[in-house]
Amino acid sequence: MEELQLVKNQIKTFVEECKDEKSLVLLDKLATGKMLRSKLIMKIAGINEESIKLCAIVEMIHAASLLHDDVIDEADTRRGQASVNALYDNKTSIMFGDVLYSKAFTELSQMNRDVAYTVSNAVTLLSIGEMLDVDLTETFNTSYDKYFDMIYKKTASLIEASAASAAILAGRDKEKYALYGKNLGLAFQMIDDILDITQDSQTLGKPAMLDFVEGKVTIPYLLLHERVEDKVKLESLYKKPLTDTESSWIKEQMLSTKALEDSVNQAKSLGLEAIEAVKDEDNESLVQIMSAMIHRDF
Ligand code: FPP
Ligand code: MG
């Protein structure tokens, strides 16, 4: 996709402006992701100088948050490649995250006030979301409200802000696009949580069924806990490395209780709500972005 290359070039230019050789070397070590936020911004605001800058800013903030998250999660892979904390060390990952994050904010301060406010406010939510996520892995969480509040802040807030800011640049209805982005983000995180259970480690680029081992009670586990007969057994497997028999038992229970199926349905219905929010905007690609995201392989 040619447009995404424009964003990558803009990120490189921003990092070059920092005049630091090591930062450029480190930038090269980052594996590129799907760039969902950039795709979204460009579909709403088109491809122009301001929209490309906004994409680069948002991608740099996202990359910075992942550089910090990999330290917090002690992850040694990111997108199927060695993470910066694994290649170098935790200090490097945090410090390079800080470079990307602060340069992004320098550039954000030069943009439209409302865009700057919307994006910077989302980064506060993102940071709070990460704290909530860490707190929720302490003990077995059974609250849907806490789960939704956490995924809204950790994942959906920046997607919401991307869509809203793109709408501001395009002179369109900010609220409609914010709602679209929020629901897209919530559905995106829920599908990620579902894929952790349904996909193998090769496809995921990280060990499969890791969330529960790491203490994350995601939507399929919340539904499962509510429905499973042997709750004590499920609780006893929480935060433990799983044997093949144990992970097969969880998967079977996920199927027989329809916990997995209903999680997919909840994600899909959020997807439909997102599309509903922008139905009068005459932008077919917003429907495409949503359905491409929902129809990732379950
Ligand atoms: C990945 O979650 C983490 C995030 C989406 C947000 C992380 C946010 C911060 C560390 C705070 C903000 C910091 C800065 C510098 C802006 P995950 O661990 O559930 O997903 P994963 O499997 O991709 O790691
Ligand atoms: Mg992580």
Q: Note the pLDDT tens digit of each residue in 80-127.
A: 899 999 999 999 999 999 999 999 999 999 999 999 999 999 999 999
Q: Worst-scoring range by mean pLDDT, 116-125, 229-238, 288-297?
A: 288-297
Whole-number Å distance, alpha carbon 202 to ligand 2 midpoint, is 17
pLDDT at 108: 98
C-alpha distances in angstroms, 278 versus 176, 177, 203?
6, 7, 32
SS3 116: helix
Angle at 52 between CA 50 and CA 189, to 5 degrees: 120
Quickly state the pLDDT bin for 204 (edges 50, 70, 90).
Answer: confident
Residue with tokens 């993102």: 126
DSSP string, 55-105: HHHHHHHHHHHHHHHHHHTT-SEETTEE-HHHHS-HHHHHHHHHHHHHHHH
Ligand 1 cavity residues, CB under 6 Å: 61, 64-65, 68-69, 73, 75, 97, 101, 123, 126-127, 130, 154-155
Give the separation between CA 271 and CA 49, rounded to whole angstroms.
30
Q: Mean pLDDT for the chain?
A: 95
Q: What is the mean pLDDT of residues 239-263?
A: 96
Do residues 182 and 173 lie in contact, with contact meaning Cβ atoms separated by under 8 Å?
A: no
Instruction: For 13-63, write each residue's pLDDT tens digit.
Output: 999 999 999 999 999 999 998 999 999 999 999 999 999 999 999 999 999
- Among the bound ligands, the one closest to the CA of 154: 1
pLDDT per residue as tens digits for the range 257-277? 999 999 999 999 999 999 999
Confidence bin at 1 (pLDDT 50/70/90): low
- What pLDDT does residue 205 have? 74
State the pLDDT at residue 296.
81
Q: In the numeric block, which tokens belong to residue 219?
A: 């939507």
The answer to whether 96 touches 26, Cβ cutoff 8 Å, is yes
Q: Distance, CA 283 to ligand 2 centroid (Å)?
A: 33
Q: State the pTM of this model.
A: 0.95
Mean predicted confidence (pLDDT) in 238-249: 95
> Does residue 202 surpass a pLDDT of 90?
no
Q: What is the mean pLDDT of residues 219-232?
A: 98
pLDDT for 188 equals: 95
Tell me, in angstroms, the distance from the centre of ligand 1 to residue 17's CA: 26
Atom of ligand 1 nearest to the CA of 98: 15
Task: Provide mean pLDDT across the span 53-76.
Answer: 97
Q: What is the pLDDT of residues 147-157, one digit of tens each?
A: 999 999 999 99
Going by alpha carbons, the residue nearest to atom 17 of ligand 1 is 69
Pairwise CA distance, residues 125 & 131, whole Å: 10
